[in-house]
Amino acid sequence: MYWNGERFTAVSCDNEDIQTVRVVAMDKKRLRKFEKISRIDTINYKDIGRVWYMGADSIPEFFTDSGMHPVDDKKQLKPITKYIIDKYILKNTKDTTANAVISAL
């Protein structure tokens, strides 16, 4: 399987079309359950224990399962916390809403 930027995709090791991507051993759980969350405005406090992240120094990436980062397998994903939700998700949602209100005026 390989990471397509959003989720893992199953592929044959003999497939010549994927020579430019990193292929890893099949993991059926990760193939089925592990995805990048692209709409972070959908994350809230109920997702504590169900969402993991990487990269709190800049804009973090959020994922639907635990484990290693799909591109850099030396980095362990961390479970999302109230602090991360407050700092990166709710703050961005409030800023976006405020900007939309100001633009409408």
The pTM of the full predicted model, rounded to 2 decimals, is: 0.79
pLDDT for 37: 96
**73 is in which domain, residue-wise?**
2-104
pLDDT at 92: 66
Determine the pLDDT at residue 101.
36
Q: What pLDDT does residue 14 have? A: 74
Residues of the chain with pLDDT under 50: 96-105
Three-state SS for 23-51 is ECCCCHHHHHHCEEECCHHHCCHHHCCCC
- Amino acid 36: pLDDT: 97
Q: How many structural domains comprise the chain?
A: 1
